[in-house]
Amino acid sequence: DPDRLWCVCREPHNNRFMICCDKCEEWFHGTCVGITRSMGRELELKKLEWICPKC
């Protein structure tokens, strides 16, 4: 759903990099939570979890 609101900013995806919290499973824009696309890739490669600020 392209109109669904995500993240702490409550805005749509808009084709921006997003990351999912491994605890609550909510999605966040990387720019809103200080995670770059390369940081997200590194977390994935190292099989590390990312926990959102809310959790």
Segments making up each domain of the chain, as ranges: 1-55
For residue 43 the two structure tokens come to 């977390």
47 burial type by CB count under 10 A (0-12 exposed, 13-18 middle, 19+ buried):
exposed
pLDDT of residue 2: 80
Q: What is the per-residue pLDDT across 1-55, written as a single tens digit (0 to 9) for each?
A: 788 999 999 999 999 999 999 999 999 999 999 999 999 999 999 999 999 999 9
pLDDT of residue 36: 98
Please give the model's pTM, rounded to 2 decimal places. Answer: 0.88
3-state secondary structure of 50: coil
Determine contact, residues 53/33, Cβ cutoff 8 Å.
yes
CATH topology for 1-55 is: Herpes Virus-1 (3.30.40)
pLDDT of residue 16: 94
